[in-house]
């Protein structure tokens, strides 16, 4: 094996090690092969160091692209979920089994997780605009936010249809027999296609392993220009900020209940929403880079 062939083979292996695959890896190796054919004595550097530099320099772009793709896909899927909800309106409660109700509850919870993860991913991606290289931990946080957002979006879409596809109960027949409800399976399928289209960007970002050191930001860092104000109010405590947001949720939902002349229901819903938010913060906070 010649030195050039060995060098290119090592570079190929190192690129694979840092998560650069497919057409991009092939292209990089081809470019280096071309360089060495122009100047066989060129000192291009150690393959491991070059592969790491590629991962570091592409990390920001891959992570931001994943976040943007997921947010866009979730926005489109959200419109389709609304269309599906409208299509399901003609159904009476009699047409729903208990499994359907559970599926809709799962769908509703997953939708909120998707909105939070996708929204936070977008916020962090905006903060990283113009950032040259991204720390390894920051890249992992963005990939997780995009991945969780996408997975939760998919659960939102498929939870209800699964009960219809796999459970041959009377309501499935009833839904199938109503022409207007052709819309909900179509909207579900289209939503799933939109989310699947965003998946490759998430996989690319998750596979890439930049090596740059440095901490990932937290919820305060996501706030961008509002960060100094939020830090002053919360004395720099992310836990305090989460508690304030949770309390805000309780108040807003409770006030909505008061406005709808049902204060008791509003307060109950508010407490549930606030509790769910703080529960989600406790469970997923570290994983999603909301707290350290």
Report how far residue 156's alpha carbon sits from residue 159's, in angstroms, rounded to the nearest whole number. 6
Report how far residue 200's alpha carbon sits from residue 13's, in angstroms, rounded to the nearest whole number. 22
Candidate list 8, 50, 187, 250; residue touching another protein; CB under 8 A: 50
Residue 57 as a binder of another protein (CB under 8 A): the answer is yes
Q: Which is nearer to another protein, 28 or 70 (CB)?
A: 28
Among the candidate windows 49-57, 103-111, 274-282, 283-291, which touches another protein by CB under 8 A?
49-57
Q: Which of residues 25-44 bind another protein (CB under 8 A)?
A: 27-28, 30-32, 34-35, 37-39, 42-44
Among the candidate windows 56-64, 102-110, 207-215, 236-244, which touches another protein by CB under 8 A?
56-64
Residue entry with tokens 């049902």 = 262
Spatial CA neighbour of 17 closest among 41, 44, 46, 37 = 46
Query: Shortest approach of another protein to residue 38 CB, angstroms?
Result: 4
Residue 56 as a binder of another protein (CB under 8 A): the answer is yes
Among the candidate windows 20-28, 158-166, 182-190, 278-286, which touches another protein by CB under 8 A?
20-28
Q: How many CA atoms lie within 13 A of 125 on its CB side?
A: 25
Q: What is the CA angle 173-156-109, rounded to 5?
A: 115
CA dist 200 → 68, 78, 208, 244 (Å): 13, 20, 12, 36
Could you tell me if 132 and 57 are in contact, meaning their C-beta atoms sit under 8 angstroms apart? yes
Candidate list 10, 21, 48, 53; residue touching another protein; CB under 8 A: 53
Residues lying near another protein in the complex (CB under 8 A) are found at 24, 27-28, 30-32, 34-35, 37-39, 42-45, 50, 53-54, 56-58, 60-62, 65, 132
């Amino acid at each position: 094996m010649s030195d050039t062939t060995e060098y290119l083979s090592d570079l190929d292996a190192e690129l694979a090690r840092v998560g650069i695959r497919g057409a991009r890896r092939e292209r990089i190796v081809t470019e280096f092969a071309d360089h060495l054919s122009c100047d066989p004595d060129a000192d291009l550097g150690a393959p491991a160091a070059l592969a790491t530099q590629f991962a570091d320099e592409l990390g920001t772009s891959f992570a931001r692209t994943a976040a943007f793709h997921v947010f866009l896909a979730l926005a489109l899927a959200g419109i389709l979920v609304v269309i599906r909800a409208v299509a399901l309106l003609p159904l009476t409660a009699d047409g729903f089994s208990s499994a359907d109700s559970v599926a809709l509850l799962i769908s509703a919870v997953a939708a909120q997780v998707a909105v939070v993860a996708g929204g936070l991913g977008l916020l962090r991606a905006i903060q990283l605009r113009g950032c040259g290289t991204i720390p390894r931990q920051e890249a992992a946080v963005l990939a997780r936010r995009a991945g969780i957002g996408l997975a939760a979006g998919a659960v939102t879409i498929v939870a209800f249809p699964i009960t219809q596809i796999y459970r041959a109960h009377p309501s499935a027949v009833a839904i199938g027999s109503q022409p207007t409800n052709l819309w909900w399976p179509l909207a579900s399928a289209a939503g799933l296609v939109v989310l699947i289209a965003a998946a490759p960007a998430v996989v690319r970002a998750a596979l890439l392993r930049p090596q740059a050191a440095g901490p990932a930001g937290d919820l305060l860092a996501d706030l961008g220009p509002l960060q100094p104000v939020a830090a002053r109010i919360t004395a720099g405590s992310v836990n305090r900020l989460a508690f304030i947001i949770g309390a805000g949720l309780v108040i807003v939902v409770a006030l909505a209940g008061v406005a709808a002349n049902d204060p008791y229901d509003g307060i109950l819903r508010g407490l549930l929403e606030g509790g769910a938010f703080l529960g989600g913060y406790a469970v997923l906070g570290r994983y999603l880079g909301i707290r350290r």
